[in-house]
Amino acid sequence: MQIEAFDFNLPEKLIAQNPLKKRDASRLLVLNKHTKSLSNKKFTDFTDLLNPEDLLIFNDTRVIKARLFGKKLTGGKVEIMIERIIDNHHALAHLKTSKKIIPHTTFHISKEIVVEVIEKKDGIFLIQFNSYLNAYEILEQYGNVPLPSYIERNPDESDEERYQTIFAKMKGAVAAPTAGLHFTEEIFKVLDKNKIKYTFLTLHVGAGTFQPVREENVNEHKMHSELFNIPNETIQMIKEAQSRNGRIIAIGTTVLRALETAFSSKVIKPGFKETSIFIKPGYEFKIVDALLTNFHLPKSTLFILVCAFSGHDTMKKLYQHAIKHQYRFFSYGDAMFIERSL
């Protein structure tokens, strides 16, 4: 399975650099799983595609201000991108600087806050915050919204709201679960009015979600690990939806990955666990029937995932259609609704 099979040409002008004025003003590309036909719709049409038996599952993770900037004692600059907070004074992070970083290197975030590198493992650094503030307080005070690199501007105040779902609750993500960004209070009111059931899980999205597959052979790619938790209430609601033949609809690839990981076990227990599941063509889906997601990067694990879900050739055609019809791509872009291949 070669990575070139998952490449496509994307005009740079289609990469959304800013969110729309209204969250639900985006477009929605809908795939008919029976005919493979495509329909151009508005995101507000999404609720019309749902049945009372269905269950929507959202990711309620909350994005932290994960990007920090500091200086070495020599004056050299360093960018710190938090991958995961471990405890009040330790975190895993990606470090970007002009020179090689060795253990016990220190950086100053401010006069009072010093970051020390403890060790490097699997390409990521364990760092320690030497401060009277805890890690979350440091990020809130000194951190920046971690917009992905393909958004070629500095974050502003509006990103603090818009790069966050309206239902964000559990702190820990360093990237937004972007399918959820389209949802508004008005859409949830329509869901309630139509008696469409929905629930939540938590998966703390890591920076690795943006990492391209660098190996020529897709099977040699090593996935990043992310923390997730599926509450008892959500597990019970899934069982009830299945009993009434309703579709399990994942709002975003993060939800799909969490569900498929959890339901690969005979006994599903709540509590935080790690997943490094890599879903690629040939994978047998266990639980998710339909997926709402944004458009993904070429050669990315997420594009590979949707190819596994609805078929490689089908996804290639869908993306060609999206490009031809000028859909907006990536985090602040438009969405698509697809169902699992028959």
Contact call for residues 293 and 59 (beta carbons, < 8 A): no
Mean pLDDT throughout 140-164? 95
**Percent of the chain, pLDDT > 70?**
100
The model's confidence at residue 303, banded by pLDDT at 50, 70 and 90, is very high
Mean pLDDT throughout 45-61? 98
CA gap 129, 132 in Å, rounded = 9
Contacts of 250 (CB under 8 A, 6+ apart): 57, 256, 259, 288, 290, 291, 292
The model's confidence at residue 65, banded by pLDDT at 50, 70 and 90, is very high
Mean pLDDT throughout 214-234? 93
Residues 68-120: pLDDT tens digits?
Answer: 999 988 888 999 999 999 999 999 999 999 888 999 999 999 999 999 999 99
- The pLDDT value recorded for residue 10 is 97
CA gap 204, 226 in Å, rounded = 6
- The pLDDT value recorded for residue 96 is 92
- The pLDDT value recorded for residue 255 is 98
Place of tokens 């990492």: 211
Tell me the pLDDT of the chain averaged across its residues: 95
Which of 51-60, 265-274, 332-341 has the weakest average pLDDT? 265-274
- The pLDDT value recorded for residue 99 is 86
Residue 146, pLDDT above cutoff 90: yes
Residue 123, pLDDT above cutoff 90: no
Mean pLDDT throughout 39-63? 98
Domains (range + CATH), the chain: 3-63+160-339 (3.40.1780.10), 67-144 (2.40.10.240)
- The pLDDT value recorded for residue 279 is 96
